[in-house]
Copies of this chain bind each other. A is one copy, B any other.
Amino acid sequence: MSGQVEFLRGEFQLIDWVRQRSASYPQVPVGIGDDAALLSPTSGEEVIVTTDMLMDGRHFIVGQTPPELIGRKSLAVNLSDIAAMGGRPIAAFISWALPRHQGRDLAESLFTGMAGLAREFDVSIAGGDTNSWDGPLVINVTVVGETIGQRRILRSGAQPGDVIFVTGPLGGSLAGRHLTFTPRISEAIDLVQRVRLNAMLDLSDGVASDLRHILNQSRVGATLDARSIPIHTDVDRHLPHREQLRKALTDGEDFELLFTVSGSDAEQLLANPPPGWKPIQIGNIDGELGCRIRTEKGIEPLPTGGWEHPLD
């Protein structure tokens, strides 16, 4: 690196290309082009930060998945985390390690997918880090957002007696929906404006796994109602019903929100749902630790069956 006098313009040109295609927003007075970006969050709100890294061969396969959808997903999973905090996104920061010999074309397609989703949610692409190498594609996206006036919405606030809801049907996402899902930003804002959310998260590993984060951090238990679990049409209807249910609870990558509210807020939400969508009640928080499910056979422990990335 030292003393090299060549002009290797590739990265600067790509950064210019990206900058020209990045919309500007008043909350991001300084975006791409300085040492760092400057954001102006709304006074009095807290700043939300989340980051996700996606790798070729692990989260997608270059050559099998259209790069626009890879780019889109790398932003979408972060927007989903902002939604899970009941906030709205402001700016995204894209770092990528691009395979050297397809870097520019791949980068443009990835960026096109990101930029389309960013525009839908008024998110500024405000910075990042562009590298090329001989390894596989790696994309890291950080999204910075802000809260919208409610008290903090964490995983630790669920109370016995709360009703558990999800924002949409579950299961079968890996058939394709995991690449094209809509992050539930507007649904989160609808909820924050209507009720007091005691706990919320976005479903990445499946209800059976993710709900446990709320139960553990809130020191409560839950009983789900099998008949109420909304099974997505992406789940094969030819499977036995119990297998469909298992898939809805464990497939993961749903990116729907799961949240808990008091009984009275639940009644209000069901009586006056937000315009255009309706939360789906799937069970209750109770004081007895552990996670159970009520089926036609009675109440039984809920198999976790979520997946976690190995690290050995």
Classify the interface of chain A: helix, strand, loop or mixed.
Answer: mixed
Chain A, 207-263, CB within 8 A of any chain B CB: 217, 246-247, 250-253
Contact of A35 among B12, B84, B305 (CB under 8 A): B84
Chain B residues whose C-beta falls within 8 Å of the C-beta of A81 in the assembled complex: 35-36
* Interface hit among A53-61, A63-71, A282-290: A53-61
- Do A55 and B97 contact each other (CB < 8 Å), given the known contacts A85-B38, A142-B49, A202-B35? yes
Interface size class of A (residues with CB under 8 A): 35 or more
Contact present for B29 and A152 (CB under 8 Å): yes
Chain B residues whose C-beta falls within 8 Å of the C-beta of A297 in the assembled complex: none
Contact of A34 among B6, B144, B154, B252 (CB under 8 A): B154
Question: Is A271 interfacial (CB-CB < 8 Å)?
Answer: no
Contact of A53 among B33, B41, B87, B96 (CB under 8 A): B96
Central interface residue in A13, A58, A140, A308, by most chain B CB within 10 Å: A140
Chain B residues whose C-beta falls within 8 Å of the C-beta of A250 in the assembled complex: 3, 5
Closest to A201 in B: B35
Contact present for B311 and A10 (CB under 8 Å): yes
* Interface hit among A112-120, A122-130, A162-170, A189-197: A122-130
Provide the bound-state CA to CA distance between A234 and B144, in Å.
39
* Interface hit among A18-26, A131-139, A272-280: A131-139
Closest to A41 in B: B47
Contact present for A10 and B310 (CB under 8 Å): yes
Provide the bound-state CA to CA distance between A128 and B53, in Å.
9
- Do A55 and B305 contact each other (CB < 8 Å), given the known contacts A38-B47, A44-B43, A311-B98? no
**Min C-beta distance of A141 to chain B, whole Å:** 9
**Min C-beta distance of A19 to chain B, whole Å:** 12
Contact present for A57 and B133 (CB under 8 Å): yes
Contact with B along A293-312 (1 / 0, CB 8 A): 00000000001110111111
Contact present for B1 and A93 (CB under 8 Å): no
Provide the bound-state CA to CA distance between A305 and B154, in Å.
51
Contact of A84 among B4, B10, B36, B82 (CB under 8 A): B36
Closest to A134 in B: B57
**Min C-beta distance of A176 to chain B, whole Å:** 12
Contact present for B47 and A144 (CB under 8 Å): yes
A-side residues, CB < 8 A to B, are 1-14, 29-30, 33-41, 43-44, 46-53, 55, 57-58, 81-82, 84-85, 87, 91, 93, 95-98, 100-101, 103-104, 126-136, 138, 140, 142, 144-145, 147, 152, 154-156, 174, 200-202, 217, 246-247, 250-253, 303-305, 307-312
Report 8 cross-chain contacts, Cβ distance below 8 Å, ordered by A residue.
A2-B174, A5-B305, A35-B155, A49-B126, A49-B127, A101-B312, A132-B311, A142-B142
Q: With A10-B308, A38-B147 given, can you name 11 additional A-B contacts, CB distance below 8 Å?
A: A2-B174, A3-B251, A8-B310, A8-B311, A30-B152, A30-B154, A35-B202, A51-B95, A57-B135, A93-B142, A132-B310
